Amino acid sequence: MNDRSATAIASPNIALIKYWGNRDANLRIPANDSLSLTLSGLETKTTVRFLPDLERDSITINGQPASEQTQARMEGFLSHFRVSSLHAQIESESNFPIGAGAASSASGFSALALAASTAAGLQLTPRELSVLARMGSGSAARSVFGGAVRLYAGANSESSFAEQVFPSDYWPLVDLIAIVNPDHKSVGSTRGHALAETSPLQSARIADTPSRLQRVLKALEFHDFEALAEVCELDSNLMHAVMQTSTPPLLYWAPATVTIMQAVRRFRAKGEPVFYTIDAGPNVHCLTLPEAGSRIRSLIEQLPGTIDVLEAGIGEGAHLVP
């Protein structure tokens, strides 16, 4: 690493209390507080080099040139880290599907924020880094930290930051991500956030968020899995109800998504410790306890429409690597 290059790794997170909708779309200031678990085993590795001989930013993702839309989004984000007039060479790789509702933008922009700010010579506190990461992707603010992480909506950009509420080893939950479609979703989260206010349900969802968030914090504090399951499924369903009642409506679910949701509820009714939560995509996060992980994974793998199952624990936040 020299003064103008750095490499960082960050992991995606799974939101237990969802963030959907922005009060400020340009700064990505969320409409409500959210809370997530940073995942281990899944990661994005990003290298940023500010070079004198580039005429524009060079961006590759998983070995392929970035699309024009992604190029423009990342160039705008990089404006926060410019070293004089230098452009950046960015190489980013993820070991899980991107753009499919598995929070690839969270890991991507968290890693980019750390690598770019370091390469630019900035010395940011974790809170400051979370504020900048949020400007690239709201959920990226949470991936700056490990464990259970809360993102505050705040009154302005400086007060909309993330912080850790429980460390990664506090409760070793397991996330089994049932992949039913690994392809890039047709409507990205940025567009979805912009549509949230068109749903008549959004204001009610936001108004009740503080209550649900406190229920999750209490369930985490006391390791109350059943209470956690009930509120997290409720919160996920509320977010997707907003999506499905927006104008135009967003239906991210596939038939297999519903099959897995129904199966998970049946499993839990029979005493299995498992619940679902779904981000903006068709793939289903099934959270369980370590001692039940292999058993639940086998059950999910046998469900119709399950292509693959990714397994993650609770991991650490963004960090630099050589």
- 24-47 pLDDT, tens digit per residue, is 999 999 999 999 999 999 999 999
pLDDT band at 97 (very low <50, low <70, confident <90, very high): confident
Q: Out of 3.30.460.80, 3.40.50.300, 3.30.70.890, 3.90.1570.10, which CATH number does the structure's domain 174-312 have?
A: 3.30.70.890
Per-residue DSSP letters for 300-315? HHTSTT--EEEEE-B-
- Structure letter (DSSP) for residue 153: -
- The upper half-sphere exposure of residue 205, i.e. CA atoms within 13 Å in the direction of its Cβ, equals 27
User: 5-167 has which fold?
Assistant: Ribosomal Protein S5; domain 2 (3.30.230)
Mean pLDDT of the chain: 94
**Count of Cβ atoms closer than 10 Å to residue 230 Cβ:** 15
How would you classify the pairing of strands 87-94 and 58-61?
parallel
Using 50, 70 and 90 to split pLDDT, how confident is the model at 254?
Answer: very high
Exposure of 53 by Cβ count < 10 A (0-12 exposed, 13-18 middle, 19+ buried)?
exposed
Express as a percent the part of the chain with pLDDT over 90: 88
Q: What is the pLDDT of residues 305-320, one digit of tens each?
A: 999 999 999 999 999 9
Q: How far apart are CA 316 and CA 322, in angstroms?
A: 17
pTM score: 0.94
Residues of the chain within CATH 3.30.70.890 domain(s) are 174-312
Residues of the chain with CATH 3.30.230.10: 5-167
